[in-house]
Amino acid sequence: MKQNWLEIILIWLTVAIMTVVLVSQVSKAEILAPFAAILAGSLAFVSLIQLFRAEPKGFVRRLVYVGGGSYLILTLATAFVWLRG
């Protein structure tokens, strides 16, 4: 699992960068749909990596870590957007 942390952290970093860009460019009323697309994209990307890797060991754990981390990043960004007013 240790070699998978790099891919997980890179996906989290990508989610965070995309979230910051969206928060600065999209209005409060329209922010939730792009956030949902980012979350779905992060899970799809992990699945795509798994498809090419063909290594079943640790796949669910990677999905949980990527999904949970991405969800946390997007939840904090949503709270920031809604509290910013």
Domain holding 50, by residue range, is 2-84
Q: Are 79 and 19 in contact (CB under 8 A)?
A: no
In whole numbers, what is the pLDDT of the chain averaged over residues? 91
The amino acid present at 29, given as its one-letter code, is: A
Number of domains in the chain: 1
What mean pLDDT comes out for the span 25-44? 92
Please report the pLDDT score of residue 45 as a whole number.
93
Q: Are 47 and 59 in contact (CB under 8 A)?
A: no
Question: Does position 3 have pLDDT exceeding 90, yes or no?
Answer: no
Question: Does position 55 have pLDDT exceeding 90, yes or no?
Answer: no
